[in-house]
Structure 1
Amino acid sequence: MLSMFFSALGKVLLVGLLLGAGLPALFSLGIRAMAYGAGGAAETSHAPGHPVGRVLGVLCFALVLAAIALGIAVIVSSGFGYRVSFENVIPTFVAK
């Protein structure tokens, strides 16, 4: 029983760290990448902008928005008596 408790505690800790610290860290990485992509006054070196920075920034923001949308979908689907299934690559709503 105690081993099951610590196993579940580890899973909760991992998800908490990933979502609690990982998403804000990914968002801040996106902000930094957008500053690198803008260049000029956004950078301390006043170097010209890099298109790679903008692409990385948009990718970071897209991942954060996808995680938020997935979280909202799980919460709303549970309220309507459905669950989100990951049996296929695309998440689908399945009746409970």
Structure 2
Amino acid sequence: MNGIVEWGALGQVVVAGLLVGAGIPALFALGLRLLAGTTAAPRRATAAADRTSPERGGPVVIPRPPVWRLVAAVLCFGTVVGAVATGIVFLAAGGHS
């Protein structure tokens, strides 16, 4: 049965499937996580901060992420957009390299 299955081609398909099927969505999720706010509990330093707590119906303030996280998120999203665009161009060309 070894002559029927081309193991090298099967391995290439599995690796490509893992990269595209799991790697691209994971990269997108990483970009979203880099843009998300922190999960640390806010400090209660003053009485004014207590009046705007979410428990009292006040606004919830999510601090802006640092610049390095914004840059990393843009790189993640750029890679995802590039991979999708490359796939569309590949399919539009008839699926030939």
TM-score, structure 2 length as denominator? Answer: 0.68
Q: How many angstroms does 1:21 deviate by?
A: 0.2
Amino acid at match of 1:22: G
Amino acid at match of 2:38: E
Does residue 43 (structure 1) correspond to residue 38 (structure 2)? The answer is yes
Alpha-carbon distance in structure 2 between the residues aligned to 1:16 and 1:49? 33
Relative contact order, CA 8 A, sep 6+: which one is greater? Answer: 2
Q: Which has the higher strand share?
A: 1
Greater C-alpha radius of gyration: 2
Unpaired runs of 5+ in structure 2?
43-62
1:8-62 CA-to-partner distances (Å, cap 9, x unmatched) read 1000000000000000000001001112xxxxxx211156631100000011000
| 3-state SS of 1:20 partner | helix
User: What is the identity percentage for the equivalent residue pairs of Structure 1 and Structure 2?
Assistant: 40
TM-score, structure 1 length as denominator? Answer: 0.68
CA RMSD in angstroms comes to: 2.2
Q: Is the 8 A contact 2:35 2:65 kept in 1?
A: no
Q: Which has the higher helix share?
A: 1
Unpaired runs of 5+ in structure 1?
36-41, 85-96
In the alignment, which residue of structure 2 is the partner of 1:57? 73
Aligned length: 75
